Structure 1
Amino acid sequence: MGKQINPKQFGRVAVMLGGDSAERAVSLSSGQAVLNALLRQGVEAVAFDPAERQLTDLINEKFDRVLIMLHGRGGEDGAMQGALQHLKIPYTGSGVLGSALAMDKIHTKQIWQCLGLPTAKYRIADKSDFEAGSCGAIMMELGNEVMVKPAREGSSIGMARVTSAKQLETAIQDAFKYDNQVLLEQFIDGPEFTVGVLQDRTLPSIRMSTPHTFYDYAAKYHDDTTVYHCPSGLSADKEAELAAISLRAFNALSCSGWGRIDVMQGSKGEFYLLEANTVPGMTEKSLVPKAAMAAGLSFDALTLEILATSLALS
């Protein structure tokens, strides 16, 4: 899958990892795994942690491009992309606009909704005018089972699944610790899927199952009870439908290069888009590498394809 890529064409590569977001630990793991893979293939790659280095070092040390492995704010939200564009250094993945939109779950849903793409019913809680007395009405409107999500965090940080007005109030206040805006989304009781996107094509979907109340941080990174199904068990028609929806959702946000779309499936087989990830995890437990493997693309080959997305900006 994919044409042969010459590792030497990339020059000196900074693998940007760590950072200072709430997802620093995961970013360090992803970045190290990617760095090791690039080095195995003869790429001149160096770890670069922007929490410990000045970005001007990229110029001073004559790096030719940056492979962004920063998860969360500061690395996945357009800020780093804008800084690198200002420095005229090519980088991997989505640009400023795509990164910023995908990082914001509320704006993501609004765009998808405007384009007629399927997404669950939702409300927005804003820290400036949130009233606890509204929780009962919100629960009823959203089907009495609600997912609470800070608008601009990843890795399920600050998220909760609630079934009562009191739980909703508590979860919203907890989520306000991470963001001034919180997405309240109708819970879809069904399987969760994820679809990797790589260079304008989709990878095979993965279905996740976990004994947790939802696919939370522990289920993603620490818990061995999470099961990943790839192939996901969908029929060929449903797989094609999911791939088409996911690619359309990715492009709708002006995302590019590579990423991941998360989706729920309802009781009647219908799909509901959850969110987009422009710098998905690349640890050994991560989803995009699993999907790539199912498509015949090794972890090492995948890292080269991701690095090749920087060529569009060269």
Structure 2
Amino acid sequence: MSEPAPLHVAVLMGGWANEREVSLMSGRGIAAALRDKGYRVTAIDMGRDVAARLAEAAPDVVFNALHGVPGEDGSVQGMLDLMGLAYTHSGLATSVIAIDKQLTKQTLVPHGIPMPGGRIVKSAELFERDPLPRPYVLKPVNEGSSVGVAIVTADSNVGNPIHRDAPGPWQEFAELLAEPFIKGRELTAAVIDGTDGPRALGVTELVIAEGFYDYEHKYTEGRTEHVCPARVPPGIAALCEHYALKAHRVLGCHGTSRTDFRWDDELGEDGLFVLETNTQPGMTPLSLVPEQAKHAGIDYADLVDLLVKEALRVHRAKGQARERDAHG
């Protein structure tokens, strides 16, 4: 009796978002780990012909290693749903909500998850007046990896009000989310799904020598120290894991997610705020989910294997639900 053919995984990476290079790093690592696990792997650097390339490859499952738009905002998820393909990470509706920071607030805050206040502003308004008392944070509504984030302080070198020619996200985005700046510490907690449901992997503190945890700090070696587990009181660590799990469930995440926090340690538990939940966390050597998984006893290859198996489980469950609906 012949051996069954290995499962075929298409690793979708690259694309044209701001986070292309990070996605390529993630994708290469994932592809190598899956090959080590015995999978047949096709690596696809996503272009506009992605649907045709996936149809030609005809994989058993797609590992979505894309970051940013369109791999994280529901666009690719909708295409994969239409093609009937199993894929890792969260589905269409969850991706649409989680990539949008304002929609995320509207979804999570009613469930008791604390998030900073703030509002959407037209970038042109910033040249007339500050939307909030300084210091405040400006960030794109629909970008990941802290792309385009700016902290506007009383002594910022951008003018008061902000000069029209000053460098910043207002030059690139027509609208921005303005939030009050929360002083304190950067914390993050990852969640993974398993046979017993989702579980938190732990809490990491991100110690930055200078500035804040922006795109460059996330993906440049040596710019940020990852303290895992975070040196915080047990009650704060437990609360981070609680909020991360709750966000994962409320948003309907699958596979893995990572929730980022700011903690004003002078205020104790009242100083902990969720900033966002990332449905497509990075999988590079510097990335936080693989690091937390390793600390929890799950090596990199086992992590990607787990995500593929969870994708297949979710796909089967969707198929069974459609069958039930079809038969009343």
TM norm structure 1: 0.89
Superposition deviation, residue 212 in structure 1: 2.5
Instruction: Name structure 1 gaps, 5 residues minimum.
Output: 1-7
Match of 1:163 among 128, 131, 153: 153
CA contact (8 A) 1:162 1:168 kept: no
1:44 is the counterpart of 2:40: yes
CA contact (8 A) 1:10 1:64 kept: no
Match of 2:231 among 193, 210, 233: 233
Counterpart residue type for residue 148 of structure 1: L
CA contact (8 A) 1:258 1:309 kept: no
Structure 1 residue aligned with 2:302: 301
Structure 2 residue aligned with 1:198: 192
Structure 1 residue aligned with 2:91: 95
Is the alpha carbon distance of 1:99 and 1:9 closer, same or farther for their aligned partners in structure 2, counting shifts above 3 Å?
farther
Is the alpha carbon distance of 1:181 and 1:308 closer, same or farther for their aligned partners in structure 2, counting shifts above 3 Å?
farther
CA contact (8 A) 2:128 2:161 kept: no
Structure 2 residue aligned with 1:18: 14
Q: In 2, distance between residues paired with 1:24 and 1:182?
A: 22
Superposition deviation, residue 126 in structure 1: 2.6
Q: In 2, distance between residues paired with 1:214 and 1:170?
A: 22
Match of 1:313 among 312, 315, 323: 315
Is the alpha carbon distance of 1:196 and 1:170 closer, same or farther for their aligned partners in structure 2, counting shifts above 3 Å?
farther
Superposition deviation, residue 139 in structure 1: 3.3
Structure 1 residue aligned with 2:138: 148
After superposition, residues 23-38 of structure 1 pair within 5 angstroms as 23-38=19-34
Q: Give the secondary-structure state (helix, strand or coil) at the position aligned to 1:232.
A: coil
Q: Give the secondary-structure state (helix, strand or coil) at the position aligned to 2:191.
A: strand
Deviations 1:73-117 (A, max 9, x none): 010000000000000001001100111111111111222223331
Structure 2 residue aligned with 1:134: 129
Q: Give the secondary-structure state (helix, strand or coil) at the position aligned to 1:71.
A: coil
Counterpart residue type for residue 45 of structure 2: D
CA contact (8 A) 2:205 2:230 kept: yes
1:189 is the counterpart of 2:188: no
Counterpart residue type for residue 61 of structure 1: A
Structure 2 residue aligned with 1:81: 77
Q: Give the secondary-structure state (helix, strand or coil) at the position aligned to 2:93.
A: helix
Is the alpha carbon distance of 1:259 and 1:168 closer, same or farther for their aligned partners in structure 2, counting shifts above 3 Å?
farther
Match of 1:219 among 213, 217, 220: 217
Superposition deviation, residue 202 in structure 1: 0.8
Q: In 2, distance between residues paired with 1:115 and 1:232?
A: 26
CA contact (8 A) 2:221 2:286 kept: no
Q: In 2, distance between residues paired with 1:264 and 1:29?
A: 27
Q: More deviation in 186-195 or 252-261?
A: 252-261
Counterpart residue type for residue 233 of structure 1: R
CA contact (8 A) 1:70 1:279 kept: yes
Matched residue pairs, number? 301
Counterpart residue type for residue 260 of structure 1: R
Q: In 2, distance between residues paired with 1:115 and 1:79?
A: 27
Q: Give the secondary-structure state (helix, strand or coil) at the position aligned to 1:268.
A: helix
Superposition deviation, residue 168 in structure 1: 6.6
Deviations 1:218-273 (A, max 9, x none): 21111413111111112333222211111112222222221111011112123100
CA contact (8 A) 2:132 2:179 kept: no
Counterpart residue type for residue 246 of structure 1: A
Q: In 1, distance between residues paired with 2:185 and 2:87?
A: 34
Q: Give the secondary-structure state (helix, strand or coil) at the position aligned to 2:128.
A: helix
Of all paired residues, the percent bearing the same amino acid is: 33
After superposition, residues 109-124 of structure 1 pair within 5 angstroms as 109-124=105-120
Counterpart residue type for residue 123 of structure 1: R
Superposition deviation, residue 178 in structure 1: 4.3
Q: In 2, distance between residues paired with 1:72 and 1:170?
A: 28
The Cα RMSD (Å) is 2.1
Superposition deviation, residue 167 in structure 1: 6.0
Superposition deviation, residue 30 in structure 1: 0.5
Superposition deviation, residue 131 in structure 1: 5.5
Q: More deviation in 173-182 or 262-271?
A: 173-182
Counterpart residue type for residue 267 of structure 2: K
